[in-house]
Structure formats: C-alpha cells, structure tokens
Amino acid sequence: MQLNILVLPGDGIGTEVTREAVRVLTRVATRYNHTLNLSEGLLGGVAIHKTGQAMPDETARLAQDADATLMGAVGLPEFDNAPPAQRPERGLLGIRAILGVYANLRPVRTYKALIDSSPLKNHLVEGTDMIIVRELTGGIYYGTPRGITGEAPNEHAVNTMAYSRHEIDRIARMAFELASKRRKKVSSVDKSNVLETSQLWRKVVTEVAADYPTVELEHILVDNCAMQLVLNPRRFDVVVTENMFGDILSDEGAVLAGSIGMLPSASIGGKRPSGAWVGLYEPVHGSAPDIAGQNKANPLGAIGSVAAMLEYSFGLMEEAAAVNRAMEAVLNSGRVTADLKPPGAPATTEQVGQSVCEAIG
Ligand code: IPM
Ligand code: MG
C-alpha cells in the first residue's frame, strides 16, 4: 500500500517525539511491504519564525494532499504573552479546521507495567480503559464574536461557545459507533445546569441514542465527571464531550495512564473533495519547552498516534496491532523515559523509539 504522510514536527519536544514516530512508521512500512511517501511541513512557532504564519498556506496545501498528517506539538514560551491570533497554537486550530477533523479520539488506558507510575492508588486505576471523544472543530475555541476591546481600566474580553445540532449529532454518532464495538456505554459530559449549548448538546445526544438501542447512555455534568475520572475511572467506556471540556478532561485522564507522554490521539471525521477521509494524528501532550532538546521526552504518545493512523486512515489493523504490541513489550522491559519513573536509569527518547522498532521485528 502507498502511504502518503505529511509530518509536522512543530515545536519543542514535538521534533524529538515525531522523529521516533517516523522511525517506527518506517519500520512498519519495511516489515509489511508498504511504500512510504513522507513530506514535511511547518506548523506552530517554527512556522511563525520562518514564514510569519502559524499555519502557512503551503502546510495547508500539503495537508490537503496527504492521506494522513502526523503532528508533534506546538507552542513556544516566547509567545506566552502574545494574543491568541498570533500564537503557535492558532496553527494547530487552523489545521484541524481546514481538515475538518471534528472528532478527536483520545484513548486512556492503564498498562500493567505502568500501574505504579500513576500517583493514584493501584486498585483505583487498574483496568481503566476508556476513550474520550472530544468535539474538535467547534465550541468556544472557534466561536465568534471573540476578542478584547477597550483600554485600561475598561477592557472587555469576550469568547463565544456555540454549537449547532449538526455538529453535536455527528460527534454523538461517532461516540455511539465506537461504544457499540466496545463495552456499549456512552457518558455524555456537559454543563446543562448552566449552559444553553449544553442543553442542546444533551437533547441531541439523547435523540441520537435512540438509534443505538444496545448502547447505554448516561449524562454527566463536567464537574462531577472530573471527580469521577479519578474516583472511579473504570466506570467509563466512551466519554463524549465538547471541545474545551474534552481538552481539560483528557489531561486529567493522563494521570490514569501514568504520564501525559503516553497518550496518543486521532483526529478524524473530515473528508477531502475526493470523498476520502482525512486524519490528523497527534500526541495529547504539548511542546514541553522545559525538557525540549534533551532527548528525554516520552515518544510513546506519538508512536501510539502512528498506530492510530495505521488503523483509522489506512485500515491496517495488523500493522497497528504490531505497533501496540511492541509498545507494550517496551513498557514491560522497563526501558522507558524518566516521566514513567523506571527503577533504573531512564531511557532516552531515541532509545525508546529504537526499542519499539526492534520489538516490531
Ligand atoms: C491539545 C492542546 C491544544 C488544544 C492546544 C495546544 C491548542 O492542549 O491538543 O489538547 O487545546 O486543543
Ligand atoms: Mg490539551
């Protein structure tokens, strides 16, 4: 099979973890006789430096042409005080929007080998296996009006959280489809005791549920969900929620997995003019400037995102399973990065990538 993949390493540890993810992808292609066509593009702070834009037109074009895009991370501390429109993060929001990838799938599971890496008690986290389905192209991230007006001391800032029925319907269907192939439970997270967007959310999700009679639906308020995630994470199978709630809850979910460096994600749902699906694959973690360039970031979130790409964009289930098995073997070997607090000396980013390749064979 021909795999045309755009790689956007981005900023900070994005470049390091993406290098290992590409190493693994290359190994898979060789081992299973696929032809890999890689292109590379600019996104985020590095793109602002080189072109003045967080998502250059060239990157948008490359992403539209590729079968799938692998992204590292965006964000640089020098932009900490810049307005949202001029920040590296805007590049990521831009590429999600142009690809139309409205569903961000963030699996959260605990690996046996990592049970002690979580700060939570073992009996609480053991056996956790959920997938957070985050709406990715709507809500307060994109709503207008937005901005800051006025001069001190009268400045005024506004953001808009908006959802239409169609946006809720399609993400709900994604969640129910996933749940029907898993433990058949959807937890829909909202704040319907306060927000109108959440009231519409709850109504539409309830309607969609009628089409999936074998799947159980519960509605849960976001504050309670945040608590239940650490009190009783095993109760969750598929969690579906709007953009910002999903952003926040998935970082919390990282605590269950042992480290945010472990979490992969797949952003899917968009279609190209040809009708083909597009996918954007990115680890959940950020650019981590504090450890960038030191060869110590955990590449497993990025490598797990490669597995997700093989599965969702290319339907290569055996290859995806091989990557997941190899990751598990590396975790069991204990040769992991410092964030996972291995008993001995931690492995480097590169060593972990190489070990995954060796385990693939
Ligand atoms: C994420 C990140 C991004 C988001 C940032 C970098 C814009 O936190 O993917 O979770 O908020 O979506
Ligand atoms: Mg986030």
Q: Is 92 near ligand 1, meaning CB less than 6 Å away?
A: yes
Work out the burial of residue 356: count CB atoms within 10 Å of its CB; fewer than 13 is exposed, 13-18 middle, 19 or more buried. Answer: buried
Q: Which of residues 209, 232, 256 is at a domain's end?
A: 256
Specify whether 222 is located in the same domain as 176.
yes
Number of domains in the chain: 2
Least Cα distance to 256 among 292, 216, 289, 229 occurs for: 229
251 catalytically annotated: yes
Specify whether 189 is located in the same domain as 265.
no
Specify whether 312 is located in the same domain as 201.
no
Specify whether 229 is located in the same domain as 193.
yes
What is the residue-level pLDDT of the chain in tens, covering all 361 positions? Answer: 999 999 999 999 999 999 999 999 999 999 999 999 999 999 999 999 999 999 999 999 999 999 999 999 999 999 999 999 999 999 999 999 999 999 999 999 999 999 988 889 999 999 999 999 999 999 999 999 999 999 999 999 999 999 999 999 999 999 999 999 999 999 999 999 999 999 999 999 999 999 999 999 999 999 999 999 999 999 999 999 999 999 999 999 999 998 999 999 999 998 777 777 789 999 999 999 999 999 999 999 999 999 999 999 999 999 999 999 999 999 999 999 999 999 899 999 999 999 999 999 9
Specify whether 37 is located in the same domain as 64.
yes
Specify whether 146 is located in the same domain as 233.
yes
Work out the burial of residue 85: count CB atoms within 10 Å of its CB; fewer than 13 is exposed, 13-18 middle, 19 or more buried. Answer: exposed
Residue whose pair of structure tokens reads 């969690």 in the numeric block: 239
Take atom 12 of ligand 1 and give the residue whose Cα is closest: 247
Provide the domain limits for residue 205: 119-129+138-256
Q: Which of residues 196, 222, 256 is at a domain's end?
A: 256
- Domain of 283, CATH number, reads 3.40.718.10
57 catalytically annotated: no
Specify whether 22 is located in the same domain as 77.
yes
The tokens describing 47, both together, are 């793109």
Partner residues linked to 148 by β-bridges: 157
Instruction: Tell me if 66 sits within 8 A of 4, measured CB to CB.
Output: yes
Specify whether 359 is located in the same domain as 264.
yes
Shortest-distance atom of ligand 1 to CA 251: 10
Find the 249 Cα to ligand 2 centroid distance in Å: 9
Specify whether 297 is located in the same domain as 274.
yes
Find the 283 Cα to ligand 2 centroid distance in Å: 10
Specify whether 244 is located in the same domain as 326.
no
Q: Is 89 near ligand 1, meaning CB less than 6 Å away?
A: yes
